Amino acid sequence: MSSTYSEFVTEVQSIADISFAAGVLNWDQETYMPQGGAGLRARQLATLAGLVHERATGGKLGSLLEVLGKDVSLDEVQRCNVKYVNKQYQRALKLPREFVVEMSHTVSEALSVWQQAKPAGNFEAFAPHLEKIVNLKRRECELLGYTAHPYDALLDEFEPGLTTAEVEQLFADVRKDLVPFVKQIAQQAPHSDELLKKHYPKDKQFAFSETLLRIIGFDFGTGRQDISLHPFTINFGATDVRVTTKIDEHNLSDMLTGTIHEGGHALYEQGLPANGYGLPSGEYVSLGIHESQSRLWENNVGRSLEFCKAIMPQLQAAFPEQMNGHSANDLFQALNVVRPSLIRIMADELTYHFHIMVRFETEKALIEGSLAVKDVPGFWNSRVREYLGIDVPHHGAGCLQDVHWSHGSLGYFPTYSIGSFYAAQFFAAAEKQIDGLHEQIERGELKSLLQWLREHIHRHGKQYSARELCERITGEPLSFSYFMQYARKKYGSLYQL
Ligand code: CO
């Protein structure tokens, strides 16, 4: 190994040390920190963020990158590490310091205004802040540069290489196939999810969620689970991965699906190469690929009839009264109720994508300048009526419902849908390549599926782009058709279509 390369690794890993230390503070803030800790914690996090920014844009890293960019002796993994760190470095250099500072002030102000405006449904209060954010984001697109559409520059931050045109094509397919399919389902007699709405005590739910994590292969030697208001996964390297779950005593579904979802994110982090600590070779590919792992476990596995059969005996043992007289099929039906609703995070796995479509169309129109901020509610409500068939009674349940815009995270939403579409395509490949996968799931044996994901996705870190990974695994680029096949098969049988 060249001495410049090892100097580079030391520098990048020590920046990662600071980031992961900030991550521990973030995790603590969401789980165990007393309320009184908030003020000092914000200060501690800001100091660490400043240190990371300074080092990650610093001259030392810059000169190392310059030398290594011309080093022909690097191997494939080393080249990958230099390439991605350089991409981040160049990106950061394109954004002047005053721009970064203005953005950070704007979003912290916007966040506190949004927190008040959402419950009040007061769009007028939030509008001037959204206006500032949109203007800054439009400037960011120009500073970063793009070829076809300014929104491409925003997508690239979360899903490198994904273009606006590709997202438009995927959603055109959603409109053509999934929107009418959901209308067909809505005409059938709905299944009941009463089974999941009984009283399920918190402690027993938590114990069961740990059972679920064990079933899917989560390693408690390199991870732990706690409770938080919003479930999340965070890691401080591949050997320390934390998940949280949310428990509602009157909704078992939150815990079941939430635990498997975060567990899927965690399995990815636990499967990344530990020798790539802090380096791109030890990092996830993109948010879409990360989400593909959580959704594959949550939806393709967790909401399947086979998985319901696998866990029913344990559920009956943990909740004998609540589950009395219920079959795996009852659980399968209850976990797959399709019902158009207003709130994205409560949506079923089909109508979920309509929510993302509304957000993508709104963001794209704002960034290209074809929609004014004051017209967002009208634009939003008309799309919700068109795709979901419902009226928005209150902006808090409409265009003000999500936190992303007040964080300045425009371009993020599409990765949620992309994740589900990748999941369906990967799972279809796994079905072909793993003998008797469905029978294994039904027996609660998930080792070979996890092994398959480790082999084809996890162990590669960032070595392949999302596009390359998808083609290597499935032989073709991302296509909505796999999700649609999955939906037709599962919901066709559930609703006799
Ligand atoms: Co997720």
421 contacts: CB under 8 Å, gap ≥ 6:
170, 478, 479, 480, 482, 483
pLDDT of residue 46: 86
| 255 C-alpha to ligand 1 centroid (Å) | 14
Indicate the residue type of 360: F
pLDDT of residue 101: 85
| 265 C-alpha to ligand 1 centroid (Å) | 7
Asked if residues 179 and 430 have their Cβ atoms less than 8 Å apart, the reply is no
Q: Which two tokens stand for residue 255?
A: 């815990």
Indicate the residue type of 16: A
pLDDT of residue 105: 85
| 201 C-alpha to ligand 1 centroid (Å) | 25
pLDDT of residue 39: 86
Query: pTM of the predicted model, to two decimals?
Result: 0.96
For ion ligand 1, residues whose CB falls within 5 Å: 294
Domains and CATH numbers, the chain: 3-145 (no CATH), 164-494 (1.10.1370.30)
Sign of CA dihedral 361, 367, 371, 376: positive
Asked if residues 371 and 438 have their Cβ atoms less than 8 Å apart, the reply is no
How many helices (H) and strands (E) in the chain?
23, 3
pLDDT of residue 119: 96
Eight-state DSSP code of residue 45: H
Report the C-alpha gap between 208 and 68 in whole angstroms: 50
What three-state secondary structure class fits 223?
Answer: strand
What is the total residue count of the chain?
Answer: 497
Per-residue pLDDT of the chain (497 residues; tens, 9 = 90+): 689 999 999 999 999 999 999 999 999 998 999 989 988 988 898 899 889 989 999 999 999 999 999 999 999 999 999 999 999 999 999 998 889 889 988 988 898 899 999 999 999 999 999 999 999 999 999 999 999 999 999 999 999 999 999 999 999 999 999 999 999 999 999 999 999 999 999 999 999 999 999 999 999 999 999 999 889 999 999 999 999 999 999 999 999 999 999 999 999 999 999 999 999 999 999 999 999 999 999 999 999 999 999 999 999 999 999 999 999 999 999 999 999 999 999 999 999 999 999 999 999 999 999 999 999 999 999 999 999 999 999 999 999 999 999 999 999 999 999 999 999 999 999 999 999 999 999 999 999 999 999 999 999 999 999 999 999 999 999 999 999 999 999 999 999 88
Q: 262 an active-site residue?
A: yes
| 177 C-alpha to ligand 1 centroid (Å) | 24
| Beta pairing partners, 245 | 227
Asked if residues 225 and 219 have their Cβ atoms less than 8 Å apart, the reply is no
| 377 C-alpha to ligand 1 centroid (Å) | 27
What three-state secondary structure class fits 243?
Answer: strand
| 262 C-alpha to ligand 1 centroid (Å) | 6
Q: Which of 166, 262, 269, 361 is catalytic?
A: 262
pLDDT of residue 142: 98
Report the C-alpha gap between 135 and 413 in whole angstroms: 19
Report the C-alpha gap between 409 and 154 in whole angstroms: 9
Report the C-alpha gap between 290 and 268 in whole angstroms: 7
Count other C-beta atoms under 10 Å from residue 187's C-beta.
8
pLDDT of residue 108: 85
pLDDT of residue 62: 97
Q: Residue 106, Cα to own-chain centre: how many angstroms? A: 24
| 465 C-alpha to ligand 1 centroid (Å) | 19
Buried b (16+ CB within 10 A) or exposed e, 339-363: bbebebeebbbbbbbbbbbbbbbbb
